[in-house]
């Protein structure tokens, strides 16, 4: 049976990425060697690294003065690396969920953290508005897409201080005005590549101002200077990321991808709003994520949660269980998820409604 892959991360990748990577694992760039057994300093791999950086810049229209880094350690290492490099006396954070909280926890190791607003009062089911970004903080950190709760900040904020964004789960899903950010980062395993590589888009002139001694590997300058080749980069995930970037380019880029993503999300949210058995976890349409669509059983139908889950499993759907901290369901609709899979889920919801009403 065809599987419909709604996992939140690691998650669905384009078939093109999987096939090209599988091929390179056997024979990389006609070298007769596996991608896994060749030097990262070989001219073949250096070309992969450079093209991946160039395509990042091309697809996201990254202005001059920024570097694209491919690092290890996951987005979670960035939670500490950001304050290590940028924190002087105070940092500002927006608390929109579990990932924001983890970032805040690391920043607090460096000094005063001003949490400007939080949506924790309603289990993070909305994006706080009408807060003031303190101009005396060194930077303002946001999580644009809250993978667990299904909320998303879909506009690029105007920040009077350097804006830092965790875009782990919405990078390449919508156009982004990179010039508004000092730093954008994320784990690649949601919308780009297999786990193991972390991307960082960084404005070159924000580093080197903390007045702090920084361990070499934790210092952005090291990786900017060496083009992410200071130490051995995660070779296979970088190769796979390049394939996804090529696929994006060949399929109309981010602007086209965004149109399809909006269509997929609207179809599914419309069905959740219409179907009597379900309700959306996030009420405010503007705050609803394009990438992680969270829903729960409507009042009075809570007992149907397990039966619905089993019903979808029988239809080939995988990964739609909500995060263990919130329950319910979460359908992740990343770039590589075909429209057809969203259609299949909607059909399943409608059939289940007919059976149970
Ligand atoms: C998955 C995720 C993370 C954690 O990424 P790791 O690479 O596992 O450290 C951080 N932030 C967001 C928004 C995520 O979705």
Report the run of H or E that residue 349 belongs to, with start and end.
helix 339-356
Catalytic (active-site) positions = 99, 166, 190
Compute φ and ψ for 321, nearest 5 degrees.
-65, 135
| pLDDT in the model for residue 245 | 98
Instruction: Classify 292 as helix, strand or coil.
Output: strand
Task: Give the model's pLDDT for residue 274.
Answer: 98
β 140-143/90-95 pair status:
parallel
Q: Is 168 in the pocket of ligand 1 (CB under 6 A)?
A: yes
Cα angle 313, 287, 153; round to 5? 105
Query: Which residue lies with its CA nearest to atom 2 of ligand 1?
Result: 168
E-strand stretches of 102-161? 112-118, 140-143, 145-146, 151-152
Classified as helix, coil or strand, 15 is: helix
CA of 75 to the centre of ligand 1 (A): 5
Ligand 1 in reach of 210 Cβ (< 6 A): no
Q: Domains of the chain by range and CATH?
A: 15-250 (3.40.640.10), 253-356 (3.90.1150.10)
Ligand 1 centroid vs 79 CA: distance in angstroms?
10
Would the CB of 150 count as within 6 Å of ligand 1? Answer: no
Please tell me the number of Cα atoms within 13 Å of 231 on its side-chain side: 9
pLDDT < 50 stretches in the chain: none
Q: Can you count the helices (H) and strands (E) in the chain?
A: 9, 14
**Does residue 353 line the site of ligand 1, with CB under 6 A?**
no
Helix (H) or strand (E) holding 56: helix 43-59
In angstroms, the CA 312 to CA 352 distance is 9
Instruction: Name the 3-class secondary structure at 141.
Output: strand
Helix axes 339-356, 305-314, angle to 10 degrees: 130
Please tell me the distance between residue 77's alpha carbon and the centre of ligand 1 in angstroms. 10
Atom of ligand 1 nearest to the CA of 144: 13
Pocket test for ligand 1, best of 127, 147, 183 (most atoms within 8 A of CB): 147
Whose CA is closest to atom 4 on ligand 1? 75
Contact 332, 9 (CB under 8 A): yes
**Ligand 1 center–CA 7 separation, angstroms:** 14
Cα 206 from Cα 41, distance rounded (Å): 28
Q: What is the pTM of this model?
A: 0.98
> Which residues face 193 on adjacent strands?
none
Structure confidence at residue 190 (pLDDT): 97
191 lines ligand 1 (CB under 6 A): no
Distance CA 92, CA 215 (A): 24
Half-sphere exposure of 98 (CA within 13 A, CB side): 8
Ligand 1 mean position to 168 CA, how many Å? Answer: 6
Specify the ligand 1 atom closest to the Cα of 195. Answer: 7
- pLDDT, tens digit, for every residue of 85-121? 999 999 999 999 999 999 999 999 999 999 999 999 9
């Amino acid at each position: 049976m065809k599987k419909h892959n709604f996992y939140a991360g690691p998650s669905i990748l384009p078939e093109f990425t999987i096939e090209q990577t599988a091929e390179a694992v056997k024979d990389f760039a006609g070298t007769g060697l596996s991608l896994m057994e060749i030097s990262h300093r070989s001219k073949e791999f250096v070309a992969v690294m450079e093209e991946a950086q160039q395509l990042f810049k091309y697809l996201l229209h990254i202005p001059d003065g920024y570097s694209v880094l491919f690092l290890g350690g996951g987005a979670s290492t960035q939670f500490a690396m950001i304050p290590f490099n940028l924190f002087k006396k105070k940092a500002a954070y927006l608390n929109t969920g579990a990932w924001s909280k983890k970032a805040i926890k690391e920043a607090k190791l460096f000094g005063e953290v001003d949490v400007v607003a939080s949506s924790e009062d309603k289990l993070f089911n909305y994006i706080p508005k009408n807060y003031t970004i303190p101009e005396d903080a060194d930077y303002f950190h946001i999580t644009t897409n809250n993978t667990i709760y299904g909320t998303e900040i879909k506009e690029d904020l105007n920040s009077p201080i350097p804006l830092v964004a965790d875009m782990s789960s919405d990078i390449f899903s919508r156009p982004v005005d990179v010039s508004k950010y000092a730093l954008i980062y994320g784990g690649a395993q949601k919308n780009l590549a297999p786990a193991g590589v972390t991307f960082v888009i960084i404005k070159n002139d924000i580093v080197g101002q903390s007045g702090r001694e920084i361990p070499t590997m934790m210092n952005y300058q090291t990786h900017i200077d060496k083009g992410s080749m200071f130490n051995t980069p995660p070779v296979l995930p970088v190769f796979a990321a390049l394939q996804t970037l090529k696929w994006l380019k060949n399929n109309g880029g981010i602007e086209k991808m965004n149109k399809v993503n909006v269509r997929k999300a609207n179809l599914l949210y419309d069905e959740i709003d219409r179907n009597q058995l379900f309700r959306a976890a996030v009420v405010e349409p503007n705050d609803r994520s394009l990438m992680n669509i969270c829903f729960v059983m409507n009042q009075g139908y809570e007992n149907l949660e397990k039966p619905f889950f089993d019903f979808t499993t029988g239809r080939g759907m995988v990964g739609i269980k909500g995060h263990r901290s919130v329950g319910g369901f979460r359908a992740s609709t990343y770039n590589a998820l075909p429209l057809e899979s969203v259609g299949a889920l909607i059909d399943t919801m409608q059939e289940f409604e007919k059976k149970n009403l």
